[in-house]
Amino acid sequence: MRAAPGDVMKLLELQRLDTDIGRLKHKASALPVHQRVTTLMQSRSSCADDLVAAQTALSDATILAERSEADVVPVRERLQRNQARVDAGALDSKALPSALEEIEHLKRRISDLEDVALEALDAMEAATAQVEAATNQAQAIERDLQQEIATRDHEVGELGQQAKALGQERSALAAQFPGDLVTLYDKIRARAGGVGVARLEGHRCLGCEMAVTPGDYDRYMAAPVDEVIRCAECDRILLRQSLTPGG
């Protein structure tokens, strides 16, 4: 390929812009705020699980307390009826022992049911506290998360604006080159780690940092000034010293 020496030399400026744009994009993707957002999202998910568990425990304890209270009502009523019959002397000597035995049994049953109800109330109190704590934690996490998201969007947006400005500068510069030269440069840059053109400094390509062979060096330097030469090692466009200021 042939190209004016000035165009080839200006490829370095195009490369500088592409490198700066790539650096900004990398910086935007590697901002510390991304990890903070990820950590908070994980915490939010974990806290949501804790809240569901606490709410389930509260629901179970509430159901158990209500069931225990409901179960004790008919037992108390039966105890009251039996006790009333005994107190009124309505039972003969044959039925009285059995009635007294049942009264003691009913009292024990009521005590057991009341113990269950108390345990359920304690569980309700503990679960209520857990629900409140998990709710407060979830709200705090959500506030922090929204703040970090706003920070992330702001920082990414600023870097994006910088990259956009450089992209516009890059487009204006690229328009000054022959289309086939920019196409070649872009293809090489895409497959060569973002670097499509490099200086030949001494006997070393600064793109791949490889020393060129004496034969290749002589060939590079002997090529016509308008010939676009390529590094034999990395295939990047080489900018010879003779084409650079002071070369």
Question: Would you say 197 and 11 are in contact if contact means Cβ atoms under 8 Å apart?
Answer: yes
Q: Is 236 exposed, middle or buried (0-12, 13-18, 19+ CB in 10 A)?
A: buried
Domains and CATH numbers, the chain: 5-25+178-243 (1.10.287.1490), 31-158 (1.10.287.1700)
In terms of DSSP bridges, do strands 204-205 and 197-201 run parallel, antiparallel, or are they unpaired? antiparallel
Provide block-wise average pLDDT over 10 residues at a time, the chain (247 residues): 88 96 96 97 96 93 88 90 87 85 91 89 91 96 97 97 97 93 96 94 94 94 93 94 52
The contacts found for 112-120 with CB under 8 angstroms, 24 or more apart, are 113/68, 113/71, 113/72, 113/75, 114/68, 114/72, 116/64, 116/68, 117/65, 117/68, 117/69, 117/72, 120/61, 120/62, 120/64, 120/65, 120/68
User: According to the model, what pLDDT value does residue 179 have?
Assistant: 87
User: According to the model, what pLDDT value does residue 19 have?
Assistant: 96
User: According to the model, what pLDDT value does residue 245 have?
Assistant: 47
User: According to the model, what pLDDT value does residue 242 have?
Assistant: 54
